[in-house]
Structure 1
Amino acid sequence: MSRAYSRRRCMTEATPGLFATLRPWLVHLGRRRRRLLAGAALMLLALAAALGLLALSGWFITATALAGLVLAAGGAITLDVYVPGGGIRAFALTRTVARYVERLYNHDTVLRLLADLRGHMFAVLVDLDNASLSRRRASDWLNRLTADIDTLDSLFLRLLAPALVALLAILGLSALLTVWAPSAGLAVGLVLGLAWCWLTIGQARWGLAASRRRVAELERLRGRVIEHLSGMAELESHGALAEQRRRLDAIEARLRVDQSCLGRLAALGSALAGMAVGLAWLLALWLGAQLWAAEALSGPLMVMMPLAVLAMSEALMALPMAFTQFGATQAAAERLNALEAARHPVSVSPAGPLPSQGALSVSLERVGLRYPGALTAVLDDFSLQLAAGERLVLCGPSGIGKSSVAALIAGQIVPDSGRVCLGGIEIEHFEAQALRRRLALLTQNSELFDDSLAANLRLGDPEASDERLWDLLDEVELGQWAGGLPHGLATRVGEGGRRLSGGQARRLVLARLMLRDPGLVILDEPFTGLDATTAQRLAERLDAWLAGRTVIYLSHRHDDEAMPLPGVTRTIDLTAHIGSPLCATGQNLSG
Structure 2
Amino acid sequence: MAKAPSLITALRPWLGVLAGRRRRLWLGGGLMALTLLSALGLFAVSGWFITATGLTGLLLAAGAAATLDVYVPGGAIRLFAVTRTASRYLERLYNHDTVLRLLADLRTRLFTALAGQDSRVLAGRRASDWLNRLTADIDTLDSLYLRLLAPPAVALLAGALLSAGAAFFVPQAGAVLAAVLLAGWLWLTLGQARLGMSASRRHVDELEALRGGVIDTLQGLAELEAYATLAHRRRRLETLEARLHASQRRLGRRVALGNAVQVWLVGSATLATLWLAARAFQAGGISGAVMVMLPMAVLAMNEAFGALPAAFTWLGATRGAAERLNELNATPTTTPPAAAPPPENALTLTLERVGVHYPDALQPALSALSFTLAPGERLAVEGASGSGKSTLTALLGRQLAPSEGRITLGGVALDAWPDAALRRRVAVLTQQSELLDDSLAANLRLASPDADDAALWRALDQVALADWADALPQGLNTRVGEGGRRISGGQARRVALARIVLRDPALVVLDEPFAGIDRATAQALSAALDRWLAGRSVVYLVHEADDAALAGIARRVTLVEGRPAAATIHHGTPPAAR
Question: Conserved in 1, the CA contact under 8 Å of 2:508 and 2:537?
Answer: yes
Aligned mates of 1:234, 1:346 — CA distance in 2: 39
Residue deviations 1:393-419 (CA, integer Å, cap 9, x gap): 101101011111121121111122222
Contact 1:396 1:556 in 2 (8 A): yes
What residue in structure 2 maps to residue 535 of structure 1?
A: 522
The amino acid across from 1:334 in the alignment is E
Q: 8 Å contact 1:397–1:556 — kept in the other structure? A: yes
CA distance in 1, matches of 2:345, 2:126: 38
Q: Deviations over 1:256-288 (max 9, x none)?
A: 121111101100000001111011111111111
Whether the 8 Å contact between 1:269 and 1:320 is mirrored in structure 2 is: yes
Contact 2:365 2:562 in 1 (8 A): no
CA distance in 2, matches of 1:504, 1:414: 31
Among 496, 508, 523, the residue aligned to 2:510? 523
Distance 1:24 1:74 in 2: 70
Does residue 1:439 correspond to 2:426, yes or no? yes
The 5 Å alignment of 1:570-589 reads 570-575=555-560, 578=563
| Structure 1 Cα separation of the partners of residues 337 and 255 of structure 2 | 52
Which of residues 323, 329, 345 in structure 2 aligns to 1:334?
Answer: 323
- Residues 312-337 of structure 1 deviation map (CA, whole Å, 9 limit, x = unaligned): 01110110001111111111111111
The one-letter code of the counterpart of 1:394 is V
TM-score relative to the length of structure 1: 0.93
Preserved contact between residue 440 and residue 479 of structure 2 (Cα < 8 Å): yes
In the alignment, the residues of structure 1 paired with residue 436 and residue 24 of structure 2 have an alpha-carbon distance, to the nearest angstrom, of 36
Match among 161, 165, 178 for residue 154 of structure 2: 165
Work out whether 1:387 is the aligned partner of 2:374: yes
Q: Which residues of 2 match residues 3-18 of structure 1 at below 5 A? A: 15-18=4-7
Q: Which residue of 1 aligns with 2:70?
A: 81
Contact persistence 1:359–1:548 (CA under 8 A) = no
Q: Kindly state the Cα deviation for residue 120 of structure 1 after the two structures are TM-superposed.
A: 2.0
C-alpha separation between the residues in 2 aligned to 1:392 and 1:576? 19
2:573 corresponds to which residue? none
* Cα distance change on mapping 1:173 and 1:220 into 2, 3 Å: same
For the Cα contact (< 8 Å) 2:387–2:562, is it kept in 1? no
Conserved? CA contact 2:368–2:564, under 8 Å: no
Provide the residue aligned with 1:353 in structure 2: 341
Residue segments in structure 2 that go unaligned for 5+ positions in a row? 570-578
Runs of at least 5 residues in structure 1 that lack an aligned partner in the other structure: 1-13, 583-588
Q: Which of 48, 52, 56 is the matching residue for 2:45?
A: 56
Distance in 1 (alpha carbons) for counterparts of 2:513 and 2:5 = 51
Q: How does 1:358-507 map to 2 (within 5 A)?
A: 358-507=345-494
Q: Which amino acid aligns with 1:410?
A: G
Question: Shift of residue 533 of structure 1?
Answer: 2.8
Is the contact between residue 358 and residue 519 of structure 1 (CA under 8 Å) also seen in structure 2? no
Give the letter aligned to residue 420 of structure 1. Answer: I
1:579–1:440 distance in 2 versus 1, CA, 3 Å: closer
Deviates more, 1:501-510 or 1:160-169: 501-510
Residue 576 of structure 1: how far off its partner (Å): 8.9
Cross-structure match for 1:148: 137
CA distance in 1, matches of 2:415, 2:6: 31
TM-score (norm 2): 0.95
Aligned to 2:57: 68
Q: Match of 1:448, SS?
A: coil
- What is the rounded CA distance, in whole Å, between the counterparts of 1:388 and 1:590 in structure 2? 18
Match of 2:533 among 546, 558, 562: 546
Amino acid at match of 1:354: P
Aligned counterparts of 1:590 and 1:184: Cα–Cα separation in 2: 94
Tell me the equivalent position of 2:287. Answer: 298
Shift of 1:590: 8.4
Distance 2:330 2:491 in 1: 40
Offset, 1:31: 1.0
Of 564, 568, 574, which residue of structure 1 is paired with 2:553? 568
Query: What residue in structure 1 maps to residue 225 of structure 2?
Result: 236
Gap change, CA 1:367 and 1:95, over 3 Å in 2: same
What percent identity do the matched residue pairs reach? 58
Matches of 1:179 and 1:16, distance apart in 2: 45
Structure 1, residues 321-380: CA drift from partner, whole Å, max 9, x if none? 011111111111111111111132643343x2222x444222222222111221111123
Which of the numbers 15, 32, 38 marks the counterpart of 1:43? 32
CA contact (8 A) 1:359 1:520 kept: no
**Pick from 97, 115, 118: which aligns with 1:129?**
118
| Distance of 1:452 and 1:400 partners within structure 2 | 36
**Cα offset, 1:443, TM superposition:** 1.2
Q: Distance in 1 between matches of 2:496 and 2:332?
A: 28
2:9 is paired with a residue of what secondary structure?
Answer: helix
Mapping 1:71-220, distance limit 5 Å? 71-220=60-209
Q: Aligned partners of 1:306 and 1:439: how far apart in 2?
A: 74
SS of corresponding position for 1:515? helix
After superposition, the C-alpha distances for 1:462-487 in whole angstroms (9 at most, x for unaligned) are 11001111122222222222222221
Change in Cα spacing, 1:336 to 1:146, as seen in structure 2 (3 Å) is same
- Aligned positions, number: 567
Residue 448 of structure 1 deviates from its aligned partner by 1.3
- For 2:525 and 2:230, locate their aligned partners in 1 and report how far apart those are by CA, in whole Å: 46
Distance in 1 between residues matched to 2:423 and 2:568, nearest whole Å:
27
- Per the alignment, residue 285 of structure 1 pairs with 274
Contact 1:452–1:490 (Cα < 8 Å) also in 2: yes
**In structure 1, distance between residues paired with 2:414 and 2:175:** 66
Q: Secondary structure at the match of 1:514?
A: helix
CA distance in 1, matches of 2:250, 2:346: 63
Structure 2: distance between partners of 1:238 and 1:346: 44
Deviations 1:477-536 (A, max 9, x none): 222222222211110111221111222222211111100022211001212222333222
Task: Measure, in 1, the Cα distance between the counterparts of 2:543 and 2:253.
Answer: 61
How far apart, CA to CA, are the structure 1 residues paired with 2:4 and 2:54? 57
Maintained 8 Å contact 2:181/2:265: yes
Q: Indicate the larger mover: 125-134 or 337-346.
A: 337-346
